[in-house]
């Protein structure tokens, strides 16, 4: 069985991935710097001692998830954002190259990097035009992966995720959590633009996509998405109905730096890694809201 190193293993996607790979019998090594980290190594991905971890563990495969992921925070502190997502990625990448990993999997954001004027659903060959420091730093990370892996003959993949959601007890952020949290406190959630849309993909489908990538390095970016555009106001109304609430949302102006509409084509994922999502939004919401008996 391959030895897999996961960065960002205490986060929403990292925890689910580590759990899935452990139960599938993979030899899993994890790195995260969060306060409550239960990872194998409690380390900052920017720290030069990462090199020692890699030379000791010698993983076959790296899945790089650790990142600053908050778009608004990336405006407040773009230097910190670039430090984690740019320098941190470069540090992990150099350690992976020095320890001769066979495949580097970078987890990118499909929502934040493409030109927002691209035709929907956005294909991987669409133009790149991030609207936020987060989008810039995620694309920079991928660019380092592409160039340095190719220079060193290392196979790589980049997965451009759309909005990933899952059980709210495991992910206390994102729009679905905010709606549920607001409704439970009887507060009106704010929706930034009546026409705002997103592409929602359930966590189990994302873990399945990452796992399917292991033996099919693409040396390119593949979108991992539902391919469907979901209106955020409609999403709110669905959640409100599921929770039996009558609270009205507040519709505010779109926020600077946030794309208004998004959906990502998933045709390339089917072609290259044989993946397609299986969880519909209706099924996923029942699981996310933990309404199953």
Ligand X SMILES: NC(=O)c1ccc[n+]([C@@H]2O[C@H](COP(=O)([O-])OP(=O)(O)OC[C@H]3O[C@@H](n4cnc5c(N)ncnc54)[C@H](O)[C@@H]3O)[C@@H](O)[C@H]2O)c1
Q: Which stretches of the chain bind ligand X, using CB under 6 A?
A: 8, 10-14, 32-34, 44-46, 65-69, 84, 88, 107, 109, 138, 161, 163-164
**What Rg value do the Cα atoms of the chain yield, rounded?**
19
φ, ψ dihedrals at 285, nearest 5° = -65, -40
Q: With respect to ligand X, which residue has the nearer C-beta, 183 or 203?
A: 203
Tell me whether residue 12 or residue 54 sits nearer to ligand X (CB atom): 12
Beta carbon nearer to ligand X, 198 or 240: 198
C-alpha span between 272 and 213 (Å, rounded): 9
Q: Which residues contact 47 (CB under 8 A, 6 or more apart)?
A: 91
Cβ 293 to ligand X shortest distance, Å = 27
Q: 202 catalytic, yes or no?
A: no
Phi-psi region of 219 (alpha: psi -120 to 50; beta: other; left: phi over 0): left
As a whole number of angstroms, the distance between CA 6 and CA 97 comes to 15
Shorter beta-carbon distance to ligand X: residue 26 or 142: 142
| Min dist. Cβ of residue 244 to ligand X (A) | 27
Catalytic residue among 26, 41, 114, 134: 134
Nearest-angstrom CA–CA distance, 68 and 224: 20
Question: Nearest residue by C-beta to ligand X?
Answer: 11
Instruction: Return the SS3 of 122.
Output: strand
Closest separation in Å from C-beta 116 to ligand X: 15
To ligand X, the closest distance from the beta carbon of 186 in angstroms equals: 27
Structure tokens at 151: 């220079």
The catalytic residues are 134
């Amino acid at each position: 069985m391959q030895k897999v190193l996961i960065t960002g293993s205490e986060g929403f996607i990292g925890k689910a991935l580590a759990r899935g790979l452990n139960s599938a019998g993979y030899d899993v090594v994890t790195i995260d710097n969060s306060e409550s980290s239960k990872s194998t190594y409690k380390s900052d991905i920017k720290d030069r001692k990462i090199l020692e971890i890699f030379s000791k563990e010698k993983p076959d495969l790296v899945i790089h998830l650790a990142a600053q992921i908050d778009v608004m925070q990336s405006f407040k502190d773009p230097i910190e954002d670039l430090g984690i997502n740019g320098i941190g990625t470069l540090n992990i990448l150099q350690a992976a190259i020095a320890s001769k990993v066979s495949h580097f999997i970078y987890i990118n954001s499909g929502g934040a990097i493409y030109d927002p004027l691209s035709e929907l659903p956005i294909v991987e060959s669409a133009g790149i035009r991030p609207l936020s420091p987060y989008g810039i730093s995620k694309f920079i990370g991928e660019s380092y992966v592409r160039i340095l892996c190719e220079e060193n003959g290392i196979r790589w993949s980049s997965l451009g995720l759309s909005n990933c959601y899952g059980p709210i007890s495991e992910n206390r952020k994102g729009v679905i959590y905010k709606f549920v949290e607001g409704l439970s406190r009887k507060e009106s959630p704010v929706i930034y633009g009546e026409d705002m849309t997103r592409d929602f993909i359930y966590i189990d489908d994302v873990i399945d996509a990452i796992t399917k990538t292991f033996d099919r390095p693409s040396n390119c970016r593949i979108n991992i998405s539902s391919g469907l555009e979901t209106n955020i106001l409609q999403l709110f109304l669905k959640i409100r109905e599921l929770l039996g609430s009558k609270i009205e949302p507040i519709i505010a102006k779109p926020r600077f730096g946030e794309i208004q509409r998004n959906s990502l084509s998933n045709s390339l994922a089917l072609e290259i890694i044989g993946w397609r999502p299986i969880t519909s939004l209706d099924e996923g919401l029942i699981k996310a809201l933990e309404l199953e008996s």
